[in-house]
């Protein structure tokens, strides 16, 4: 059982991001339930009816208005074509997952809009142009079934990997279906396991049994709309006959329940993970008789079990075994000894003022730590032995750039995939045996001209004196005359770190674009609320301290202006999801600092957020607006901070109808309120895409072309 992922995180890849939670209850087709008092107070509540005719008619009207303004002429057509070519490129790195003897990849390009699930051998994968065998053609499936399926992944049963549980989403929403697939025949299994559309999952126990987490009918979801039951379901029986393994409380506001079997040979165990909120979890081992025994590490910690080891990554100090370990530390002990009452730990990582543990990965014999030191990656290898743990350097690790390590097959080998990237360096993928020089297998092509660009790191001083790092990409010898079109990006939440990553979309849409001033300047701010300096950095901006994240972002903006890089009329900002809440707050708190604001798939109405789709699960981050917390939450609710008498910079808000994580009503209502007040705002809504830019590359290219066309019009030298 590998360490379970952090429940909320941002993905900054090709300009695409997401708040990624375990896919677990609530259908976006259902209109939001509004109380009469809210209906009276909020004249735009009708825009929360996700698929209502009136709301969708309004969205279509706004789309037409935005397209008429931004999507006309040869310049837009060329930009959209360039971005689509990047997204469709055959030269991108096909990342693979080893399942048995094959290496599997999901791939989208111009000929395969919805994508192919395909496989090859390692010998083929080493070649510049591997021969791939198609396993599932999603475009063909959609055509045959009249659907718009989007790939959500597959869970394949060890050790023979014959049967898979494939998750498919309509339009990219979190809600999906699960269908059983035979990898040998490459056919769907007739009368196989099938889970109807809902937020949830099936996971293999054995060839005839699965864990089912899904919508089991009334009262089967928690306060946040996530499934609160994990059940054991036998082949050949109806889903209604599944037996309960775990039941979470109905008033819980976490991400629900996740159940799986660890199939590691010699260490087969069943686990249930109960999300108590957006961060804290309770982990249980399910014994052969069905009894659940809690793994008694702190709920606030990240807990992982791998073979004989239990790892505990602390978010808060923990006194155990006569010793106090600091927040941010990684501890390890023998799992069976811990479950028997032992409390002796080895501290594998201890944070400092500038370091935090970004991630870690097990191989068969080693543990690879990925450490951030002032937001720069360093790799370290730890090896357990009879005399304890020994440390060594990761042989051949690049000295600079953002690094990521994941095991090829932690059951059988010490091989890892090593990726390296930064804002200017196309991503490379290497295969490395621990202790040996990595073998570079793949390299992403250069999608934009970076020959005259430089990457630097600077630090700004926030309102309370906190040192806030930020990365900046600009042309060599850029004049400090305050006239450079500059785009500032941020997130600042859920302990998510923003590290430098190559993006052809950002490069082509912003950095390479030229006018009489040259190309754009790109800046990423590592503000509090994120994970760049571990738990303390995240916790510094929780709930009533949320304003510190916004003060940090404003400090970076002011630092750019003070150093003559840009000026308010040439400075734009962009952020999505929690980052959309960030840019919404910058709009309403510091409108004088910016010349353009882009708000993507955002949270904005923080009085209603906990009643909309998955919103209640984020109360550990923001607070509960139905309590006295509203006193401080109101201070960072852009929908309520908006002042019709205030002057605001030009704004572009976009979302998707099929976002069943962050309700599209946030974006719709804010845009409607701003339009009614006569503000300079435009709005766009993709009907597909889930919590992202689009379900297809063409949809994504269109939205990103609109975004960069808007930014250049507002921030370019001619403005």
HEC profile of 652-715: EEEEECCCCCCCCHHHHHHHHHHHHCCCCEEEEEECCCCCCCCCCHHHHHHHHHHHHHHHHHHH
Instruction: Determine which one of 513, 691, 700, 702 is catalytic.
Output: 691
Q: What is the DSSP string of 412-476?
A: T--EEEEEEE-SSS--EEEEEETTS--EEEEE----S--TTEEEEEEEEE-TTS-EEEEEEEEET
Tokens of residue 172, six digits: 């990219």
368-371: long-range pairs with CB below 8 Å, 24+: 368/394, 368/405, 368/416, 368/434, 369/330, 370/403, 370/404, 370/405
The answer to whether the CB of 425 falls within 8 A of the CB of 279 is: no
The single residue listed with the structure tokens 């955002």 is 602
- Rounded-to-integer distance, Cα 6 and Cα 18, Å: 13
Tell me the pairing of strands 163-170 and 149-156. antiparallel
Tokens of residue 586, six digits: 């910058």
Tell me the pairing of strands 102-109 and 112-120. antiparallel
Confirm whether 691 is a catalytic residue. yes
Phi, psi of 5 (to 5 degrees): -70, 150
The answer to whether the CB of 28 falls within 8 A of the CB of 660 is: yes
Phi, psi of 156 (to 5 degrees): -110, 140
The answer to whether the CB of 244 falls within 8 A of the CB of 263 is: no
Closest-CA residue to 268 (of 208, 335, 212): 335
The single residue listed with the structure tokens 């999952």 is 201
- Rounded-to-integer distance, Cα 425 and Cα 423, Å: 6
Closest-CA residue to 105 (of 121, 83, 85): 121
Instruction: Determine which one of 577, 610, 637, 700 is catalytic.
Output: 577
- Rounded-to-integer distance, Cα 155 and Cα 282, Å: 23
Tokens of residue 331, six digits: 């501890």
Closest-CA residue to 690 (of 609, 613, 593, 620): 613
Tokens of residue 689, six digits: 């895409």
Question: Active-site residue numbers?
Answer: 577, 691
């Amino acid at each position: 059982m590998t360490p379970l992922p952090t429940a909320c995180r941002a993905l900054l890849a090709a300009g695409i991001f997401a708040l990624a939670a375990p896919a677990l209850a609530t259908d976006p087709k259902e209109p939001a339930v509004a109380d009469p008092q809210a209906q009276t107070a909020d004249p735009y509540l009708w825009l929360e009816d996700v698929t209502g005719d009136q709301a969708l008619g309004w969205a279509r009207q706004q789309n037409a208005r935005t397209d008429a303004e931004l999507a006309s002429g040869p310049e837009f057509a060329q930009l959209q074509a360039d971005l689509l070519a990047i997204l469709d490129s055959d030269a991108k790195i096909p990342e693979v997952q080893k399942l048995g003897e094959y290496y599997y990849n999901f791939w989208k390009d111009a000929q395969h809009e919805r994508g192919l699930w395909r496989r090859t051998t390692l010998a083929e994968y080493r070649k510049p142009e591997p021969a791939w065998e198609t396993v599932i053609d999603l475009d063909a499936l959609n055509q045959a079934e009249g659907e718009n399926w989007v790939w959500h992944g597959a869970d394949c049963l060890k050790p023979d990997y014959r049967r898979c549980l494939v998750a498919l989403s309509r339009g990219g929403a979190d809600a999906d279906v699960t269908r059983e697939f035979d990898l040998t025949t490459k056919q769907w299994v007739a009368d196989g396991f099938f889970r109807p559309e809902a937020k949830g999952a099936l996971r293999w126990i054995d060839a005839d049994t699965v864990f089912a987490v899904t919508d089991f009918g009334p009262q089967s979801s928690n306060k946040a709309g996530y499934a609160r039951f994990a059940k054991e379901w036998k082949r050949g029986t109806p889903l209604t006959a599944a037996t309960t393994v775990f039941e979470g409380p109905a008033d819980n506001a976490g991400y629900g329940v996740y159940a799986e079997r660890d199939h590691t040979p010699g260490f087969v165990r069943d686990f249930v993970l109960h999300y108590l909120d957006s961060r804290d979890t309770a982990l249980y081992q399910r014994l052969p008789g069905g009894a659940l025994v809690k793994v008694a590490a702190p709920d606030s910690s990240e807990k992982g079990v791998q073979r004989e080891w239990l790892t505990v990554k602390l978010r808060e100090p923990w006194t155990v075994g006569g010793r106090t370990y600091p927040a941010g530390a990684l501890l390890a002990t023998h799992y069976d000894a811990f479950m028997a009452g032992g409390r002796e730990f080895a501290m594998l990582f201890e944070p400092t003022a500038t370091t935090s543990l970004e991630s870690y990965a097990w191989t068969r014999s080693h543990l690879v730590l990925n450490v951030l030191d002032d937001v720069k990656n360093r790799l370290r290898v730890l090896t357990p032995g009879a005399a304890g743990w020994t440390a060594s350097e990761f042989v051949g690790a690049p000295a600079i750039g953002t690094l990521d390590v994941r095991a090829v097959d932690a059951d059988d080998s010490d091989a890892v995939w090593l990726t390296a990237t930064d804002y200017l360096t196309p991503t490379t993928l290497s295969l490395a045996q621990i202790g040996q020089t990595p073998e570079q297998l793949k390299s992403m092509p250069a999608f934009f001209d970076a020959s005259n660009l430089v990457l630097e790191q600077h630090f700004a001083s926030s309102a309370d004196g906190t040192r806030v790092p930020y990365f900046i990409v600009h042309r060599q010898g850029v004049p400090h005359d305050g006239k450079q079109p500059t785009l500032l990006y941020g997130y600042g939440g859920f302990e998510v770190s923003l590290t430098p990553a190559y993006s052809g979309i950002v490069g082509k849409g912003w950095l390479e674009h030229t006018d009489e001033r040259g190309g754009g300047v790109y800046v990423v701010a590592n503000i509090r609320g994120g994970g760049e300096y571990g738990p303390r950095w995240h916790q510094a901006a929780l709930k009533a301290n949320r304003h510190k994240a916004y003060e940090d972002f404003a400090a970076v903006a002011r630092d750019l202006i003070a150093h003559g890089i840009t000026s308010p009329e040439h400075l734009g900002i962009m952020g999505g999801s929690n980052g959309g809440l960030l840019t919404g707050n910058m709009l309403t708190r510091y409108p004088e600092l910016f010349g353009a604001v882009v708000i993507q798939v955002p949270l904005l109405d923080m009085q209603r957020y906990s009643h909309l789709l998955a919103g209640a699960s984020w109360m550990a981050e923001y607070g509960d607006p139905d309590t006295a917390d509203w006193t401080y939450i109101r201070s960072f609710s852009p929908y309520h901070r908006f002042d019709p008498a205030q002057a605001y910079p030009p704004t572009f808000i976009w979302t998707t109808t099929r976002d069943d994580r962050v309700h599209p009503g946030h974006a719709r209502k804010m845009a409607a309120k701003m339009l009614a007040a006569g503000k300079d705002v435009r709005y766009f809504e993709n009907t597909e895409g889930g919590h992202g830019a689009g379900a297809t590359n063409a949809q994504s290219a269109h939205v990103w072309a609109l975004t960069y066309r808007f930014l250049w019009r507002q921030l370019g030298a001619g403005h």
